[in-house]
Chain A
Amino acid sequence: MWMSKQHRLDQLKAWREKGWVTDEGAGAIRKEIETRRSLLNLSNTLAILGAVLICFAAMSFVAANWSAIPRLVRVAILLSTLWASFLGAGVFYQRGQQAFGHAASLVGCGMFGASIMLIAQMFHLDGNPPDAVLVWGLGTLLAGFAFRSAPTLVLALLLFGLWSGWETSLTDREHWWFLPFWALTAFGFIWQRWNKGYELSSYALGIWVFVTGSTLPGGPYFDGIALLGLCVLAAGVGLHLLKPDLPKLSAFVAYFGAALFFIAAIIFQMSEKLEFVPLTFSAVFVLGVMLAVIVWANAQNDRKLLWLAYAAFAAEVLFVYFKTIGSLFGSGVFFLTVGLVVMALAYVATKLHKKQERNEQLEGAV
């Protein structure tokens, strides 16, 4: 039920193509969507902030222990608040007031979590606390799917992240069970075509990859994560070449892979305390990949990937500079070499560009 502006415009386009909406009507609807956006965003934000505050209020009540209220009454209060929230969500969704529907759904899920904590408190439950977070996350995921509510799915993803992090910290072991729950929430975001949800899912997965790489027996494996990132980057590029009709997906995969590679490669170089020669080789390799990504991103006009590669290039150069600052000669030789290679690449790129322009002119003349 959460529909982004782009989603609405896409639907409008499809309806116009099918002839369900006249050009004039489509223009009016488009204008309406454009002008209502800021107001809707404000009401969305305020409603969701209100929901978060109500959830915190519920948590404080739990903390106060409600000693004066009999147990059954406490449970009845929590359950009736939970039911009231979901019934309220139903009313809002039925009226088309999506933002308030999502906020009510969030309050309901917050009450579910608060109820789990209160019941644990009432009966002195002291088992495995992350299990309670998992149950909370599953209940929230169900609400997210049932109401098609992206904000509720975000809460579910956060709870699964908390659950996985908690389990990892308790066991000092990798936690593979995060993946199926992550995949379920990611599916929810794909279903709702929510771009921010894709980003959030990729951040969550990226953090999990780093945590897992650090906690695997014999780890940390930042070199392994860098290699994985490189493979994902290559998969993104490959997907673009094989399936050019999925440009958004291939760009997304390439960006995710590049980010994994750059971050892991820099952490690996920092943590391994490499000597001058291996450091030079690794730095040349990392900078080479970054340059290749800059060239690719430029060719695809992918600004997001381009800026990531620029930032990573700058970070790597700074890292090498600080690492070799003790040996000015060493750093001087390194930067001179890299500088010459980059300039040579720029020269080759210019030549290729000119050649391409010439070919296009010839084709035009023919």
Chain B
Amino acid sequence: MDEKKSASETEQGSRDWRSNLNDVLSRKVGIWPLVLVVALVQSAVLGYMIWDRVTLLRTGQEVVLDVVPVDPRSLFRGDYVILNYKVSSVEKSLASDEFKRRDRIYVTLKKNPDVEVETDDSTEANETLGRWRPVALSAVRPASVANDEVVLKAEVVRPTTIRRQSNDKPIPAYRLKYGVESYFVEEGAGKVLEKQIAEKKIEVVLAVAKSGKAAVKALQVDGARIYDEPLF
């Protein structure tokens, strides 16, 4: 009898906190404020994603990088090209530390004055752009950055090796990912872009924030912009 009573009391107790919570939501709050909270929070998350990218594209420093893209197809994300940068593999000797897979690091790129800058008169912004080469890898963002340098956030994909020339000995390096390796294009346009890339030399214009975060701003072939990102 006592056992039954205590079971009933426990059940009653456990029912109470549930009932209290349900009462608060059903009677005191009601359904509409809850609908508003859910829709507002989810909309705010989406709005933040857009605001973050638009701010980066609008205010970020422009950097031009050479790429070698390929064209796979993603089931859920339409047509896109994979952008494989020349700076996607960086010599280990530039690193301040030993890094492992998935480490978040900072890559300092320096504008290379020796490289001839290709410009396109029709694109005003290009006149200020040059080629960039990696000069340092560090676990934390460098405290001071020179005027001709830019810092990019990256993730270590895996250790690898690179050769400066095809006959050189392989040098230990890190394979890096900057978060700007996918570029979505109109359905079917991926193949066209791939053909253009095979025939000409393609470059990516990145917008880089002070934090090191980067976004693809445009694609250009021989200095002429073929895809320019609208803000909206």
A contact residues vs B (CB 8 Å cutoff): 10, 14, 59, 62-65, 67, 70-72, 75, 78-79, 82-83, 86-87, 89-90, 93-94, 108, 112, 115-117, 119-128, 135, 139, 142-143, 146-148, 170-171, 191, 193, 244-246
Instruction: Give Cα distance in the complex from A115 to B39, angstroms.
Output: 13
By the criterion CB–CB under 8 Å, are A123 and B215 in contact? yes
Taking CB as reference atom, which chain B residue is nearest A123?
Answer: B53
Q: List 6 A-B contacts (CB under 8 A).
A: A75-B46, A115-B46, A123-B57, A124-B229, A126-B182, A142-B42
By the criterion CB–CB under 8 Å, are B45 and A65 in contact? no
By the criterion CB–CB under 8 Å, are B77 and A62 in contact? yes
B84-124 contacts to A, CB under 8 A, are 101-102
By the criterion CB–CB under 8 Å, are B49 and A147 in contact? no
Instruction: Give Cα distance in the complex from A143 to B42, angstroms.
Output: 9
User: Which of these, A62, A71, A142, contacts B76 with CB under 8 Å?
Assistant: A62
- Residue B199 lies at the interface, judged by CB distance under 8 Å to chain A: no
B59-89 contacts to A, CB under 8 A, are 74-80
By the criterion CB–CB under 8 Å, are A90 and B76 in contact? no
Interface segment among B28-36, B132-140, B161-169: the answer is B28-36
By the criterion CB–CB under 8 Å, are A119 and B31 in contact? no
Instruction: Give Cα distance in the complex from A87 to B22, angstroms.
Output: 20
Q: A10-B15, A63-B77 given; name 20 further pairs at CB < 8 Å.
A: A62-B78, A63-B75, A63-B78, A64-B187, A65-B186, A70-B232, A72-B232, A75-B46, A86-B35, A117-B77, A121-B78, A123-B49, A124-B182, A126-B180, A142-B41, A143-B38, A146-B25, A148-B22, A171-B101, A245-B10
Residues in chain A near residue B187, CB distance under 8 A:
64-65, 67
By the criterion CB–CB under 8 Å, are A65 and B34 in contact? no
Instruction: Give Cα distance in the complex from A123 to B187, angstroms.
Output: 16
Q: Can you list the 8 inter-chain pairs with the closest CB atoms, starting with the nearest?
A: A65-B78, A67-B186, A123-B53, A90-B35, A126-B182, A245-B7, A146-B34, A86-B39
Instruction: Give Cα distance in the complex from A193 to B15, angstroms.
Output: 9
Instruction: Give Cα distance in the complex from A128 to B15, angstroms.
Output: 42
Q: Mark B156-191, 1 if CB is under 8 A from A, else 0.
A: 000000000000000000000001111111110000
By the criterion CB–CB under 8 Å, are B75 and A148 in contact? no
Instruction: Give Cα distance in the complex from A171 to B103, angstroms.
Output: 10
Q: Mark B1-33, 1 if CB is under 8 A from A, else 0.
A: 001001100100001001001100100000110
- Minimum CB–CB distance for B191 against chain A, Å: 14
Residues in chain A near residue B182, CB distance under 8 A:
124, 126
CB within 8 Å for A79 and B43 given contacts A70-B232, A193-B18: yes
Interface size of B as a range: 35 or more
Instruction: Give Cα distance in the complex from A122 to B57, angstroms.
Output: 13
- Minimum CB–CB distance for A62 against chain B, Å: 7
CB within 8 Å for A75 and B50 given contacts A83-B43, A86-B35, A171-B102: yes
Instruction: Give Cα distance in the complex from A149 to B45, angstroms.
Output: 21
| Pair count A-B, CB < 8 A | 127
By the criterion CB–CB under 8 Å, are B184 and A82 in contact? no
CB within 8 Å for A59 and B53 given contacts A115-B46, A124-B180, A125-B179: no
By the criterion CB–CB under 8 Å, are B76 and A117 in contact? yes
By the criterion CB–CB under 8 Å, are B49 and A116 in contact? yes
Residues in chain A near residue B101, CB distance under 8 A:
171
CB within 8 Å for A87 and B18 given contacts A64-B78, A139-B42: no
Residues in chain A near residue B179, CB distance under 8 A:
125-127
- Residue B37 lies at the interface, judged by CB distance under 8 Å to chain A: yes
Instruction: Give Cα distance in the complex from A72 to B34, angstroms.
Output: 27
Residues in chain A near residue B22, CB distance under 8 A:
148
Residues in chain A near residue B35, CB distance under 8 A:
86-87, 89-90, 146
Residues in chain A near residue B43, CB distance under 8 A:
79, 82-83
Taking CB as reference atom, which chain B residue is nearest A79?
Answer: B43
Residues in chain A near residue B185, CB distance under 8 A:
65
CB within 8 Å for A124 and B216 given contacts A65-B186, A112-B42, A139-B42: yes
- Minimum CB–CB distance for B209 against chain A, Å: 13
User: Which of these, B32, B46, B181, B230, contacts A119 with CB under 8 Å?
Assistant: B46
CB within 8 Å for A82 and B53 given contacts A124-B182, A124-B215: no
Taking CB as reference atom, which chain B residue is nearest A114?
Answer: B76
Taking CB as reference atom, which chain B residue is nearest A104?
Answer: B35
User: Which of these, A123, A128, A135, contacts B50 with CB under 8 Å?
Assistant: A123
- Minimum CB–CB distance for B9 against chain A, Å: 8
Residues in chain A near residue B181, CB distance under 8 A:
126
Instruction: Give Cα distance in the complex from A112 to B47, angstroms.
Output: 12
- Minimum CB–CB distance for A126 against chain B, Å: 4
By the criterion CB–CB under 8 Å, are B76 and A124 in contact? no
User: Which of these, A78, A79, A121, A193, contacts B77 with CB under 8 Å?
Assistant: A121
By the criterion CB–CB under 8 Å, are B76 and A93 in contact? no
Taking CB as reference atom, which chain A residue is nearest B180?
Answer: A126
Residues in chain A near residue B15, CB distance under 8 A:
10, 14
